[in-house]
Amino acid sequence: MSDVLYQGDIVLTEEQAEELIGENFEREKRQATTKTNSKWSDGLYYSFRRDARNPKMKEIAKKGAKLWHDNTCIDMIEDATAPERVEFFEGNGCYSWVGNLHKVQELSLGGQGCHYVGTAAHELAHTLGLFHVQSRYDRDNYVTLNKGNIPPKQLNTDFNLETQRTSNNYGVPYDYGSLMHYSAYAFAKDERIPTLIPKDENYVDTMGSTMLSFYDILLMNKHYGCLDKCKSASSAKCKMGGYPNPRDCSKCICPDGYGGRLCDEKPSGCGLVLTANSRVQTLEHYFGPSGKKSDDFTKCHFWIKADRGRKVEIRLKRALSESQSNSGCAFAGVEIKPQKDQLLTGYRFCKEEGGKDKVFVSKTDTVPVIFYRSIGMVTATLEYRMSMF
């Protein structure tokens, strides 16, 4: 199956293949397909093939479906009798079709490498109509392609670009932390050398995420017109760029690192609000049980706050997780958000050599610092103070 997959995990119909990689490379691929007949108008129905007996695969598939169900207006319904549905099975790898084929269509979560909630959510995103982020027409503004480390076959198919004329990104910015973005070492001939080099080098280990980002959810909600569900005056008046959840308009979908009823508070639970002043202070935190794996991510949120109108300076002394790999900080790490656009994923670190002694000066007076994990423990030490500039 790997010989006929497009971008590593996408199965194409003949029509889609002609549009995406047809003659003269007049491609029609998009981060979200604009073909209205490829959407699931009454929700996405799914079932499991009769020979799919692995309870772990079924559990992962259901959890991946629930992520999209809970954060969009798209109903994800298990129904083995629906004439148009997704049928999960364990094939040779993780892959899916793009959009609704208006029949029973397969989605493979085959093998241990596919048994992650993020993988199921990623493949379901394809089924719902999304393509990969790094195939956007504006990709080259954000990453440099290391063509010498990519096999010719993959270079000609897996790293194709859209055109601005045919793309529809719904105004959503390029997000290195998207669930739909390749890792820095995707398809590498030499796995010690990256194939995708971010223009902002601090994002190198953010790419390859296995978590839904704020912009992933926003893109899907725009693609399916879900934002129109919450236009009444009684809908939540969300702050910090958040918006009412189309599943419950009285609640907000908040950017990562923000919580509370209106997205203007630190998320509840683990973590503290720390006050930066002129003195250098230290945040050292150990998060998660060593050696333990869970399907779902847990997070610990810190806010580092300066005086109103002032900025925060952070020096990362150390960040290390037990699950680091060439896929970046996909399963555990620390995320620092000094950027102006707080809707974007922040910088993620999990490797001894990746973030040591990096210095960040925030664009605002509040910096969320997020410890996250699903595999193993993550530790980090950073110094902070109110910036003198």
Q: Compute how many other C-beta atoms are within 10 angstroms of the C-beta atom of residue 202.
A: 20
Of the candidates 355, 345, 346, the residue with the CA atom closest to the CA atom of residue 379 = 355
Per-position b or e across 113-128, b if 16+ CB within 10 A of its CB: ebbbbbbbbbbbbbbb
- Does the annotation list 181 as a binding residue? no
Strand partners, 106: 87
- Read off the tokens for 21: 């990689």
Cα distance between residue 175 and residue 138, in whole Å: 11
- Does the annotation list 69 as a binding residue? no
Cα–Cα distance list, 64 to 8, 86, 88, 125, 296 (Å)? 19, 13, 12, 10, 10
- Does the annotation list 132 as a binding residue? yes
Chain Cα centroid distance, residue 332: 14
- Read off the tokens for 48: 């499991």
Cα distance between residue 18 and residue 146, in whole Å: 27
Active site members: 123
- Read off the tokens for 219: 């893109």
Cα within 13 Å of Cα(125), Cβ side: 31
Q: Compute how many other C-beta atoms are within 10 angstroms of the C-beta atom of residue 4.
A: 9
CB 39 within 8 A of CB 100: yes
- Read off the tokens for 203: 């994002």
Q: Name the binding residues for Zn(2+).
A: 122, 126, 132
Binding residue positions: 122, 126, 132
